């Protein structure tokens, strides 16, 4: 089992580009070897709570399977990850699954491979290949989409300053997430990471309070 945070130049480059790749929807894959069957399931996820729900649901549905191995990656820079062998020899299941996720430069993703043992041991190299191939099949069946990294902010302003705020929102195509109107107004928005510095500067030029 491995869990941690990744730090390398490629991550910095990917974050700086303010886009990342993930799945549009769940997908499945399959690999068979010497009687053993490896069912692979890939899910788009954003939190560890969602990951736990998917893994527990598969354990319940495939309760008679020998192993439920998985790997996940979270964060626009792939900074949070975990690989779980679920009883298989160390490094033969979770890591190969994790490797396939990284090879396709995906994040916010969970891949679970459920194994039904066929009675013949595959050996270390056989297991690595089986989990790798099953995970790859699920990812090859998936629809991959590019998403934009955004940051959330709030701006506070008087009612008289509403037009200034909405002009900036329109010019930068900010995503409005919530709004409160009154004597003192508040607007919550999401801005594309590459435009964050410009956004803060524009609000500052209008003497508007950014949170």
Q: Which of 146, 172, 193 is the last residue of a domain?
A: 146
Residues in CB range of 17: below 8 A, 6 or more apart? 194
3-state secondary structure of 29: strand
For residues 62 and 161, state if they share a domain.
no
What length is written for the chain?
A: 211
Looking at the fold, whether 107 and 12 belong to one and the same domain comes out as: yes
CB atoms within 10 A of CB 159: 10
Last residue of a domain, one of 123, 146, 169: 146
**Predicted pLDDT of residue 183:** 76
pLDDT tens, N- to C-terminus, the chain (211 residues): 555 554 433 333 333 478 999 999 999 999 999 999 999 999 999 999 999 999 999 999 999 999 999 999 999 889 999 999 999 999 999 999 999 999 999 999 999 999 999 888 999 999 999 999 999 999 999 999 999 998 899 999 998 899 999 999 999 999 999 998 877 899 999 999 889 999 999 999 999 988 8
CATH code of the domain covering residue 165: 3.30.70.240
The reply to whether 10 and 56 lie within a common domain is yes
Q: Report the CATH number that the domain containing residue 65 is assigned in CATH.
A: 3.30.230.30
pLDDT at 209: 82
69: containing domain: 2-146
Predicted local confidence at residue 2, as pLDDT: 56
The answer to whether residues 43 and 76 belong to one domain is: yes
Is the domain of 123 the same as that of 157? no
135 & 161 share domain: no
Number of domains present in the structure of the chain:
2
Beta strands in the chain (DSSP E): 2-5, 19-23, 27-33, 36-44, 67-74, 80-84, 109-116, 144-148, 150-158, 175-180, 184-192, 209-210
Strand, helix or coil for residue 126: helix
Rounded to two decimals, what is the model's pTM?
0.77
Q: 190 and 99 in one domain? A: no
């Amino acid at each position: 089992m491995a869990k941690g945070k990744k730090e390398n130049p490629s991550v910095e480059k990917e974050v700086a580009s303010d886009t990342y790749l993930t799945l549009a929807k769940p997908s499945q894959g399959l690999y068979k070897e010497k009687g053993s069957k490896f069912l692979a399931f890939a899910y788009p996820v954003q939190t560890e709570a969602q990951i736990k729900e998917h893994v527990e649901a598969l354990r319940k549905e495939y309760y008679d399977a020998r192993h439920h191995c998985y790997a996940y990656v979270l964060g626009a820079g792939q900074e949070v990850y975990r690989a779980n062998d679920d009883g298989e020899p160390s490094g033969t299941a979770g890591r190969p699954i994790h490797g396939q996720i990284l090879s396709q430069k995906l994040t916010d993703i969970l891949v679970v491979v459920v194994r039904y043992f066929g009675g013949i041991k595959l050996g270390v190299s056989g297991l690595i290949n089986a989990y790798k191939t099953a995970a790859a099949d699920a990812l090859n069946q998936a629809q991959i989409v590019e998403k934009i990294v955004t940051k959330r902010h709030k701006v506070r302003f008087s009612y008289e300053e509403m037009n200034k705020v909405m002009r900036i929102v329109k010019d930068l195509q900010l995503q409005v997430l919530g709004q409160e109107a009154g004597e003192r107004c508040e607007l919550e928005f999401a801005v594309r990471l590459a435009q964050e510095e410009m956004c803060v500067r524009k609000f500052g030029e209008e003497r508007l309070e950014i949170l």
